[in-house]
Amino acid sequence: MFNELSVSQVNSVDAVCEVMETFVRTYVVGKDAGLNELRFHDKVIKNIFQFNLHTEYSLDYWLKDNRIKKDLRDQFLEIVTTTPLVKESDVNHADAYSRSEFHIEMEGGKCQVWGLGAAWEFDTISISLATHDYWKKSVVQISHYCLNEQAEEKHYIRKVRHFSNEDTFVEHVKWCQHRQRENLKKSADLWESREQLFPHLFFISAIEKQIATLGNSRDLTKIVEALQKLDSYICNWKSGGFSCEDAVKITGLRMSPESDSTLKNFQVKGHSGQIF
């Protein structure tokens, strides 16, 4: 989760360049360790390129500054996504998050935070631009105000996993490794439960290896959602031959028939004995 409060001004253009290079390099290190989805608060993603990290030097200007290495600028554009902090599919967290407010005490007083709060609610980690000494910590403390299911007001102090440079990320490596192991178990569980989850679909054996490499990543989540839509379509398919065009129209999924070479490479015998 991106800490939107870290988007603040520094004292020089050189400092901006250092902050941005550190952010990109650190994100890549995190991604290599298995952190494969960065989420932004809506208010940030809509205006992020207009933010000034120094007087009259916005992120948009930094992206167009030819003094900056092109690979850094390109990588930053790849990092910035339109994925919201809380998606519709996050049903287990959305309700609790909607009944909560998160704040942090800083030099200027109390500030509301969204990214840090979402990081705690989702039991994940937050990343910041290293624009302030406060963001050069591996753990950030925030206040959590919420209503429980009985509409009673509660207040808690939460400690959020956090990093803004490689030094602070190192302290979370063991957590990342544990998270990866747990995610691999989830992908294995998905394969083992495929007949219960998608009773109208038949999977060739090669799919097992493909799923195993995904863990519990954003890609796996998208695949599950797509398979659920396809399974529902097949369930309601009553007569006639399978129409890929009709399936696309009904499900909204992007799909196309396999080529003859692919079909020959992955020959499968169906329940009727027919070779596919």
**pLDDT attached to residue 43:** 73
Q: What digits encode the pLDDT tens for the residues 22-67?
A: 999 999 999 888 887 888 887 777 778 888 999 989 999 999 999 9
User: What pLDDT does residue 47 have?
Assistant: 79
Closest CA to 18 of 45, 44, 57: 57
The encoded tokens of residue 233 equal 């379509």
Judge contact between 252 and 241, C-beta under 8 A: no
164 and 188 fall within a common domain: no
Same domain for 197 and 128? Answer: no
Residue that is last in its domain, among 169, 203, 238: 169
Check whether residue 219 and residue 250 sit in a common domain.
yes
Is 274 a member of any domain?
no
**Confidence at 213, pLDDT banded by 50, 70, 90:** low
Note whether residue 275 is domain-resident: no
Same domain, 153 and 240: no
| Domain region containing 95 | 4-169
Mean pLDDT within 218-243: 83
Note whether 157 and 28 are same-domain residues.
yes
Q: Is residue 270 in a domain?
A: no
Q: What is the mean pLDDT of residues 199-224?
A: 75
- Cβ contact 127:80 at 8 Å: no
124 and 180 both lie in a single domain:
no
User: Does 11 lie in the same domain as 140?
Assistant: yes
Query: Domain boundary residue among 149, 169, 189?
Result: 169
Is residue 154 domain-resident?
yes
> Which SS3 state, helix, strand or coil, does residue 2 take?
strand
Residue 272, pLDDT score: 52
Quote the pTM value: 0.69
Q: Residues 161, 180: one domain?
A: no
Residues 119 and 223 both lie in one domain: no
pLDDT digits (tens, 9 = 90+) for 64-89: 999 999 999 999 988 886 666 666 55
* Per-residue confidence (pLDDT) for residue 72, from 0 to 100: 94
Same domain, yes or no: 70 and 101: yes
Query: Does residue 82 lie within any of the structural domains?
Result: yes
- Extended beta strands in 107-211, E state: 109-112, 125-127, 139-147, 153-163
The 8 Å CB, 24+ separation contacts for 254-258 are 255/230
Please tell me whether residues 164 and 195 are part of one structural domain. no
Final residue of a structural domain among 117, 134, 169: 169
205 and 159, same domain (yes or no): no
Residue 166: what pLDDT?
Answer: 95
**Residue 273 belongs to a domain:** no
Query: How many residues in total does the chain contain?
Result: 276
Number of domains in the chain: 2
Residue 93 counted as domain residue: yes
Top mean-pLDDT range of 41-50, 149-158, 220-229, 249-258 = 149-158
Residue 210 lies in a domain: yes
